Structure 1
Amino acid sequence: MKSEHEIQSEIMLALSRAGCTIIRTNVGKVRTETGRIFIAGPPKGWPDLTGFRHSDGQLILVEVKNENGRLRPDQKRFAEFIQRFPVIYGVCRSAEEAIKLIEE
């Protein structure tokens, strides 16, 4: 079984070749010199990949899962929230699924 990281890389390459700009959404925690915790990145539940389609500027958000992966509760809430807006959003388990997502 492929890891989500491998699938994510394949999706990024496929969408780039299909005329999209796609970036990995990085998240991390850092302890500052004063001991404060700094959380970098978007809010919990934000998808793994963010980008846009060159042909029309349409926002693309892709949550990457392997064949057994399931959405966490915060990811489910985000999916329900984002459906209200005119963006391309989907959960993809392969590069082929991601290409279908942007072509719909």
Structure 2
Amino acid sequence: MTREQKIQNDIRVAVSKSGCTIFRANVGKVLLENGRWFDTGLPKGFPDLFGFRHSDGRFFFIEVKNEVGRLRDDQKRFASMLKKYPNVIYGVARSAEDAIKIVEE
């Protein structure tokens, strides 16, 4: 089974080569030495990767899953919200090829 981190890295390279700027959304919480939690501030369910196409400036969001990965409920809710906006592109990718199809929609 392929690790999602490898799939993400493959997608970042492929999508960058296809005329897009792409970013990885680092999410999570970290316990600091002083006992306080640091939260990245992104909402629950925010997709793994996001960016924009150079050709028209449209934003895209890509949730990355491996061969057996499934969307969590918070990811489904976030996807539903994004899909309400016709100028926003959203998709789930299990490979670089899937991601290219999403951004070239």
Fold conserved between structures, TM > 0.5: yes
Q: Which runs of 4+ in 1 moved over 4 A?
A: none
In the aligned structure 2, how far is the partner of 1:36 from the partner of 1:49?
A: 27
Aligned-partner Cα distance in 2 for 1:94–1:41: 27
| AA in 1 matched with 2:64 | V
Q: Which residue of 1 aligns with 2:91?
A: 90
- List per-residue Cα deviations over 1:13-48 (Å, max 9, x = no partner): 000000001111001323346533221141110000
Separation of aligned partners in 2, 1:37 and 1:67? 32
Tell me, in whole angstroms, the C-alpha distance in 1 between the residues paired with 2:10 and 2:32: 34
TM-score by length of 2: 0.92
Q: Kindly provide the amino acid, as one letter, of the partner of residue 98 in structure 1.
A: A
Distance 2:103 2:14 in 1: 11
Q: CA deviation at 1:78?
A: 0.6
* Bigger mean CA offset, 31-40 vs 90-99: 31-40
Equivalent AA in structure 2 for residue 25 of structure 1 = A
Cα distance in structure 2, aligned partners of 1:93 and 1:47: 13
Question: What is the TM-score when the length of structure 1 is the normalising length?
Answer: 0.92
What is the root-mean-square deviation in Å for CA atoms of aligned residues?
A: 1.3
How many matched pairs? 104
- Runs (5+) with no aligned partner, structure 1: none
> Which runs of no fewer than 5 residues in structure 2 stay unpaired?
none
